Amino acid sequence: MPEYMERRKVAGSFLDLCYSPDFATEVTLQPLKRYHMDAAILFSDILVVPHALGQHLEFRQGEGPVLTPVNTEKKIDGLGMGKFHAHLAPVYETVKRLHQEIPDTTALIGFAGAPWTVATYMVGGHGSPDQAATRLMAFQQEDVFQKLIDLLVRATSEYLIRQIEQGAEVIQLFDTWAGNLPDDQFYKWAVLPVKKIIQNIRTQYADIPIIGFPRGAGCRYPDYICDTGVTAVSIDTTMPLDWVRDHIQTLCPVQGNLDPLLLVSGGEKMEMRVHEILTKLGDGPFIFNLGHGIVPQTPPENVARVSEIIKDYQKK
């Protein structure tokens, strides 16, 4: 959105935007003001967690996030919780402000990255389509990698509990690279850590809704739901709607799954797909959303059109 790009320029850097309660609150509220959506999701990034643990992080123009790789036991031992919450205090303040400003009819969603996906950035030092460095570490140095995952389980649990304390009403865990794991590794690195985080949260907030997003999980979604204890799941763009209706909606609410690039493209094809998603999933527990993150070149008018179609559908 133009208003976001304008604020981004003023902030100076993406991380400055994330760590400024004034800016992050404003940016979180921008879609609500423009589109009157049913929920607001905290403006932040999944990589503020490793940053707060002591890993160097910067966002470079044209490259995205770049971190100093944490790929040895010594480097993992150099991370810690000592300054974790002090570092993330601006994020907690943003959640607090949003809770005060957002109307009661609008849900406030907090979030974090799931340990596996966050670890792929920490070990590899950047995003990777195959996560080769991290997968090799998990195979070759399983005990060392487990130490990193355990740290992320603790850090993520505490981070999300603090968000809830400040007013987040729903929590989402994004596991962007979960689908690339083979079955045994999927259970060990995508399911068990999320299960532990949810257990930790529920010791203090038993009824908080928690949405899991194991992107690319495919036919493993039902087991993921049952094994982790999530309240709901997001589904990616590859999931067949009939299968989702028959095998996932019978277990929990579903969120998804319009292709973000179709939202960029717009027009009749976009509208037909929106109607198809609503028709096939709308009779069950369902939250309309994208199947992955929105892309920068998305025309605001296309988002407005999708919002209009959804609101018309809700009136029927």
pLDDT above 90 coverage of the chain, percent: 90
Q: In angstroms, rounded to a whole number, what is the distance separating the alpha carbons of residues 144 and 217?
A: 25
Give mean pLDDT, residues 72-88.
98
Answer with the residue of higher pLDDT: 64 or 215.
Answer: 215
Tell me, what's the pLDDT at 10? 80
Tell me, what's the pLDDT at 8? 73
Answer with the residue of higher pLDDT: 232 or 11.
Answer: 232
pLDDT at 11 over 90: no
Tell me, what's the pLDDT at 315? 78
Tell me, what's the pLDDT at 247? 98
288, amino acid identity: F
CA end-to-end span of the chain? 30
Q: What is the pLDDT of residues 150-198, one digit of tens each?
A: 999 999 999 999 999 999 999 999 999 999 999 999 999 999 999 999 9
**Spatial contact of 271 and 305, defined as CB atoms under 8 Å apart:** yes
How does residue 4 score in pLDDT terms, banded at 50, 70 and 90? confident
List the structure tokens of 91. Answer: 């994020």
Tell me, what's the pLDDT at 154? 99
pLDDT at 1 over 80: no
Give mean pLDDT, residues 224-231.
99
Question: Distances from the Cα of 199 to the Cαs of 193, 203, 229, 230, 284, in angstroms?
Answer: 10, 6, 8, 10, 27
Give mean pLDDT, residues 213-230.
98
Q: In angstroms, rounded to a whole number, what is the distance separating the alpha carbons of residues 275 and 152?
A: 39
| Average pLDDT over the chain, rounded to an integer | 96
**Spatial contact of 83 and 144, defined as CB atoms under 8 Å apart:** no
Q: Is the pTM of this model over 0.85?
A: yes
Tell me, what's the pLDDT at 87? 98
Q: In angstroms, rounded to a whole number, what is the distance separating the alpha carbons of residues 244 and 254?
A: 8
Give mean pLDDT, residues 253-281.
98
Q: What is the pLDDT of residues 90-119, one digit of tens each?
A: 999 999 999 999 999 999 999 999 999 999
What are the sequence ranges of the domains in the chain? 2-234, 259-316
Q: What is the pLDDT of residues 159-169, one digit of tens each?
A: 999 999 999 99
CATH classification code of 2-234:
3.20.20.210
Give mean pLDDT, residues 283-298.
95
